[in-house]
Amino acid sequence: MIHKLVKDAAAAVTDISDGSTLMLGGFGLCGIPENCIQAILEKGTTNLTCISNNAGVDDFGIGLLLQQKRVKKMISSYVGENEEFERQLLSGELEVELIPQGTLAFRCMAAGYGMPAIFTPAGVGTEVAVGKESRIFDGKEYLLETAFNADFAIVKAWKGDTDGNLIFKSTARNFNPLMAMAGKITIAEVEELVEPGILDPDQIHTPGIYVHRIFEGKNYEKRIEKRTTSK
Amino acid sequence: MLDKEGIAKRIAKEVKNNTYVNLGIGIPTLVANYLHEGINVCFQSENGLLGVGPFPKEYAVDPDTINAGKQTITALPGASSFDSAMSFGMIHSKKIDLTILGAMEVSENGDIANWKIPGKMVKGMGGAMDLVASAKHIIVAMQHVNKAGESKLLAKCDLPLTGKNCVKRIVTELAVIDIAPEGGFVLIERAPGVSIEQIKNATAGKLLISGDIPEMAL
């Protein structure tokens, strides 16, 4: 089989250069590629464009990269949990493109399916629509939104095998499988890495063809943003 | 006048049997606590779960299972999880029967603003622009006036829009109000102990009142 296994996060991100465009999976802090974010931080890579639904919190997730001013531009749908982000945005230090969450998902999906663009009604009549082409289908207006073009997609899965097949868990799936399909180079970090043949082919969410590098991550913190319990 | 729980209680009466419902952050989340007996509802969370259950017991907290407000939740028997494109696919293909969300402003033609205050607050739209663009039915849960005492029911929204001509019904601490197809806030019900005069004073947009306006039954 095609060789995809790398030793660790540092080896996986070794050729991510300054100025790269990255897709980072996760929703809030759920299902984020913790190991790769840490490795990029340690490597010193800067001037990044990050496509990710959220921007982490001040001291975790993408927030760690923001804190050290490694991010030039963020493309996200919701950034409300991060004060440093809001500060950099309002002061103009950080370039930000806020887009509807469905549009973010569909632009990843389009890239993964080889489609140049999609039409969506989200954002019609709002500032999101400014400068965009629109079309009417059956009397309703839709915006033309183009596929993302990312140098690297960095995703986190629950289980994976050395052929790159991935299985996600619960709502930690979110954007991960979409981004996995969309990156020019896709890096997957998994909680549990197994040999080919262990995972049931019928249960695979992301076929290995989309994954270029895979490794078993370690020391997952899986921080919870809003621990909410019932009695 | 209603408190937040009261607003949620009143909205719970709008939730029909055998429907799929998406609840926004804040007051909308509370609606799940007041559903009437015999009302069978499946809640969707746009981060990728159908069949959202109650908050977990402390021992059952799973960091991989959260709602769109990032709160830890449980998945009910029969639940399913999926990626974000499928999640918004079910929203845009109109499989969700009812969307309940908060707002900073609503205009008399059903425009809604709830994601940005230029120069002051930028949180982002999250899934709100998708939900309002494609929902079959939208109910807004909000306070009638903002913290400065200014009406949030306006002739025209001042803040950047989330969606146009999409809100059907608004429930506030003072009233239940529908958006008239030709524009205007139609007063449907008064909150307990609230006068029409109070509602008029708190509504900046065109308020349409016809006949006797009943008091809400909760």
| Residues of A with Cβ-Cβ distance to B70 under 8 angstroms | 27-30, 81, 225-226
pLDDT digits (tens, 9 = 90+) for A83-102: 888 889 888 899 999 999 99
Q: Are A181 and A111 in contact (CB under 8 A)?
A: yes
The label of the residue with tokens 């006048």 reads B1
pLDDT digits (tens, 9 = 90+) for A172-212: 999 999 999 999 999 999 999 999 999 999 999 999 999 99
Q: Is it the case that residue A1 has pLDDT exceeding 80?
A: no
Sequence letter at residue B93 = S
pLDDT value of position A86: 83
C-alpha torsion angle, residues B86, A204, A225, B106 (rounded to 10): 0
CA–CA separation, B11 vs A51, rounded Å? 36
Distances (CA, A) of B30 to B20, B26, B100, B191: 16, 7, 11, 18
* A145: three-class secondary structure by DSSP: strand
Q: For chain B, what is the largest distance between any 2 Cα atoms, rounded to a whole number of angstroms?
A: 54
C-alpha torsion angle, residues B10, B12, B15, B16 (rounded to 10): -100
Indicate the pLDDT class of residue A226, thresholds 50, 70 and 90.
Answer: very high
Cross-chain residue pair A174–B48, CB shorter than 8 Å: yes
- The residues of B annotated with a catalytic role in the active site are 46
Exposed/middle/buried for residue A12 (C-beta within 10 Å: 0-12, 13-18, 19+): buried
pLDDT digits (tens, 9 = 90+) for A52-83: 999 999 999 999 999 999 999 999 999 987 88
Going by C-beta distance under 8 Å and a sequence separation of 6 or more, which residues neighbour residue B49?
A170, A171, B65, B67, B73, B75, B79, B80, B81, B82
> From the list B72, B88, B130, which residue is nearest A226 (CB)?
B72
Q: Mean pLDDT over residues A119-142, rounded? A: 98
CB half-sphere exposure, B19, CA atoms < 13 A: 20
Indicate the pLDDT class of residue A153, thresholds 50, 70 and 90.
Answer: very high
| Residues of B with Cβ-Cβ distance to A124 under 8 angstroms | 133, 163-164
Going by C-beta distance under 8 Å and a sequence separation of 6 or more, which residues neighbour residue A132?
A143, A144, A145
| Residues of A with Cβ-Cβ distance to B123 under 8 angstroms | 78-80, 86
Indicate the pLDDT class of residue A231, thresholds 50, 70 and 90.
Answer: confident
Provide the residue-wise pLDDT of chain B in tens; the chain has 218 residues. Answer: 999 999 999 999 999 999 999 999 889 999 999 999 999 999 999 999 999 999 999 999 999 999 999 999 999 999 999 999 999 999 999 999 999 999 999 999 999 999 999 988 888 999 999 999 999 999 999 999 999 999 999 999 999 999 999 999 999 999 999 999 999 999 999 999 999 999 999 999 999 999 999 999 98
Q: Is it the case that residue A150 has pLDDT exceeding 80?
A: yes
Q: Six-digit token pair at B62?
A: 């799973």
Give A195's DSSP letter.
-
In sign, the C-alpha dihedral spanning A49, A55, A56, A58 is positive
Q: Are B92 and B127 in contact (CB under 8 A)?
A: no
Q: Is it the case that residue A167 has pLDDT exceeding 90?
A: yes
Q: How far is B5 from chain A (nearest CA, A)?
A: 17
> From the list A102, A126, A158, which residue is nearest B91 (CB)?
A102
Cross-chain residue pair B81–A100, CB shorter than 8 Å: no
Q: Are B111 and B157 in contact (CB under 8 A)?
A: yes
CA–CA separation, B96 vs B102, rounded Å? 17
- Give the phi and the psi of residue A212 in degrees, each rounded to 5: -95, -30
Q: Six-digit token pair at A172?
A: 């930690």
pLDDT value of position B179: 98
Q: Six-digit token pair at A48?
A: 């990044």
Exposed/middle/buried for residue B103 (C-beta within 10 Å: 0-12, 13-18, 19+): buried
| Residues of B with Cβ-Cβ distance to A30 under 8 angstroms | 47, 63-64, 66, 70
Cross-chain residue pair A30–B123, CB shorter than 8 Å: no
Average pLDDT over chain A reads 96
Which chain A residue lies closest to B128 (C-alpha atoms)?
A100
Enumerate the H helices of chain B as residue ranges: 4-12, 27-30, 84-92, 128-134, 196-202
Q: Mean pLDDT over residues A137-151, rounded? A: 98
pLDDT value of position B115: 94
Q: Are A219 and B51 in contact (CB under 8 A)?
A: no
Which chain A residue lies closest to B161 (C-alpha atoms)?
A126
Cross-chain residue pair A171–B129, CB shorter than 8 Å: no
Give B186's DSSP letter.
E
Q: Are B185 and B108 in contact (CB under 8 A)?
A: yes
Cross-chain residue pair B124–A76, CB shorter than 8 Å: yes
Q: Are A106 and A137 in contact (CB under 8 A)?
A: no
pLDDT value of position A73: 97
C-alpha torsion angle, residues B110, B113, B114, B116 (rounded to 10): 170
**Long-range contacts of B117-124, Cβ-Cβ distance < 8 Å, separation of 24 or more:** B117/B159, B118/B159, B118/B160, B119/A90, B120/A90, B121/A86, B122/A79, B122/A86, B122/A89, B122/A90, B122/A96, B122/A98, B123/A78, B123/A79, B123/A80, B123/A86, B124/A76, B124/A77, B124/A78, B124/A79, B124/A80, B124/A98
Cross-chain residue pair A127–B91, CB shorter than 8 Å: no
| Residues of B with Cβ-Cβ distance to A102 under 8 angstroms | 84, 87-88, 91-92, 127, 129-130
Q: Is it the case that residue A10 has pLDDT exceeding 90?
A: yes
- Give the phi and the psi of residue B182 in degrees, each rounded to 5: -95, 5
Q: How far is B146 from chain A (nearest CA, A)?
A: 20
Which of B70, B105, B132 is best to mutate for the A interface (most A CBs within 10 A)? B70
Cross-chain residue pair B134–A121, CB shorter than 8 Å: yes
The label of the residue with tokens 């069978």 reads B40
Q: Are A18 and A43 in contact (CB under 8 A)?
A: no
Distances (CA, A) of B8 to A63, A141, B29, B114, B197: 34, 33, 8, 18, 24
Cross-chain residue pair A104–B84, CB shorter than 8 Å: yes
ipTM of the complex, rounded to two decimals: 0.97
| Residues of B with Cβ-Cβ distance to A27 under 8 angstroms | 47-48, 66, 68, 70, 84
